[in-house]
Amino acid sequence: METRTLEWDTPMYRLAVAQLDQTAQLMGLQENLWHRLRTPQRAHVVSFPFRRDSYDVVQTVFGYRVQHLTTMGPTKGGIRYDLGVDLGEVTALAMWMSWKCAIMGLPFGGAKGGLRIDPRQFSPAELQRITRRYTSEIIDVIGPDRDIPAPDLGTDEQIMAWIMDTYSQTKGYAVPGVVTGKPLEIGGSLGRKEATGRGVVTCMVEACRDLGLPVEGARVVVQGFGNVGSVSARLAHAAGARVVAVSDVASGIHDPAGLDLPAVDRWVAEHRTVQGFPGAEGVSNADLLTLPCDVLIPAAIQGQIDGDNAAKLRCKLIIEGANGPTDLDADRILAERGILVVPDILANAGGVTVSYFEWVQSLQHFFWSEDEVNARLVQLMTRAFTDVLATARQRGVDLRTAAMIRGVSRIAEAKRRRGIFP
C-alpha cells in the first residue's frame, strides 16, 4: 500500500499504521477503505502567542486537534499536554480511539488533541489561560454533536472545566456535553475519574481467569502513577492482588512483599512523586518493567516495550493502560514467549466508555448513580473482552489483532452502509 503520509510521519504514527496494515491484510479489507483509514479525515494545527505570568515573556505554543473518522457519530478523544505532542502522535492516538470506540460499540469516531508544553512548568493561572486560548483556537471544530474532548496525559477535570466554560461563554449558555471527564458540579459523571483503571482491572481479572492465574496474591507492577496507573493499582489491590512496584516520571518504588498503597497515596499527596517513599527500594522505570511479577500494567506513556526489552520481561500477562506502550517487534517476541497482551484499544477503553455515559447524562440532564455507572462499565468491558478473545481463538491471532479486526470491521461496514458523498 503506497500512501504519501509525510505530514503525519512519526514513530507513533508508523506504529498505528503498521498495526492497521497488518490487520487489513489479514481481513482482506477493501483497498479504498484501508487507504482512507490510514489518514485522518481532518487535522487542525494551531499556533498562538502565550503570555507567561512574567508579563514580558511571550511564547509561541503549538496545538493540534485531529478527527480521524466522522462516519460513526461525533468524534471523541482526549487532550494531552506533553512536550512530545506532535501531529503524528495525535493522529496515531486518534486512530486508536476510532478502533476503541468501535470495539466497545460506542457511537463515536476517534479524535485526539494536545498542546506541546510541559504542564508542570506552568502556574495554575497560566494553565487556565493557555487552555482557554487553545479552546478558542479549536472552538469551531468541537461541540457536543461534533467533537468531544476528554482528559489524557497531563490534563485533568479542571482543564475540562475551563474548556467547557470557554465554549459555553462563547455560546452564551452552559454546554456541559462539549467535554467529558469534567467535575461533577458542572455535569460530570460519577465513576469517570476511576473508569479507565476500572476497565484495566476488569480486563486483568478476565485475562487471569482465562490463564488460570489466581488474582488473589498475583504480583502486579504498574508503570505510571497518574490517573490510570494509581486507580489500576488501587483496584488491583482491592481485587486481592499484591502491587509490588509503581513508578512515575521521576522513578519507581519496589517492595516484593507488596506496597502499602494508602501510604503511597499519602506520600504522593504530600511530595507529588512516589520517589523517596520510605520502606521500599528505588527502581528505575526501565528496570521496573523487567521485575519478576505476574501482571505488568504499563500506564504511563507510549514506546515502553520494544524489541530490546521484550525478551527480558518476567511477567505472564500485560494489560496496556497506556496508549501505544508496545511496538510490533515486542508483540511478536511476547507472543513467542507465551506472554498474553491485552491491548490498549481494549484494556483502556473504560475511560471512553464512561465518557460516553457522561455525554449521554449531560445531553439528557439526567444522572446515574455510581453503582449504575460501574455496573454498566464492567458489563460492557467484560462483553468486549469475551468477544475479542473469541475472535482471537477463531482466527488464531493475538488479542491486539483480534481487537483490531472487530473495530475495523464495524467501521468498514458502517462506511459501506453510508456510501460515498456525492
From the list 176, 226, 343, 407, which residue makes contact with ligand NAD (rule: CB under 6 A)?
A: 226
Q: How many chain residues bind ligand NAD (CB under 6 A)? A: 23
Give the separation between CA 315 and CA 294, rounded to whole angstroms. Answer: 5
Residue among 201, 150, 195 nearest 377 (CA): 195
Residue pair 356/418 in contact by the 8 Å Cβ criterion: no
Query: Does residue 112 have an active-site annotation?
Result: yes
**What is the side-by-side order of every strand in the sheet holding 147-151?**
42-51, 58-67, 109-115, 75-81, 147-151
348 near ligand NAD, judged by CB under 6 A:
yes
Contact region with ligand NAD (CB under 6 A), list: 38-46, 56-64, 204-212, 226-234: 226-234
Whole-number minimum distance, CB 372 to ligand NAD, in Å?
A: 19
The residue type of 282 is: G
322 near ligand NAD, judged by CB under 6 A:
yes
Contact region with ligand NAD (CB under 6 A), list: 28-36, 243-251, 383-391, 413-421: 243-251
Give the separation between CA 347 and CA 196, rounded to whole angstroms. Answer: 8
188 near ligand NAD, judged by CB under 6 A:
no
Instruction: Work out the angle at residue 387's Cα, subtended by the Cα atoms of residues 382 and 390, and round it to the nearest 5 degrees.
Output: 125
Give the separation between CA 220 and CA 243, rounded to whole angstroms. Answer: 5
253 near ligand NAD, judged by CB under 6 A:
no
- By beta-carbon proximity to ligand NAD, the closer residue of 188 and 321 is 321
Whole-number minimum distance, CB 285 to ligand NAD, in Å?
A: 5
Whole-number minimum distance, CB 225 to ligand NAD, in Å?
A: 4
Number of CB atoms found within 10 A of residue 18's CB: 12
From the list 89, 137, 152, 331, which residue makes contact with ligand NAD (rule: CB under 6 A)?
A: 152
**Contact code string over 258-297 relative to ligand NAD, x by CB under 6 A:** ---------------------------x------------
Encode burial over 125-157: b for 16+ CB neighbours within 10 A, e otherwise.
ebbbbbbbbbbebbeebbebeebbbbbbbbbbb
225 near ligand NAD, judged by CB under 6 A:
yes
114 near ligand NAD, judged by CB under 6 A:
no
Three-class DSSP category at 146 = coil
189 near ligand NAD, judged by CB under 6 A:
no
Q: Which of 76, 112, 193, 316 is catalytic?
A: 112
Give the separation between CA 219 and CA 253, rounded to whole angstroms. Answer: 14
Residues forming the site for ligand NAD (CB under 6 A): 151-154, 196, 224-229, 247-249, 285, 299-301, 321-323, 348, 351
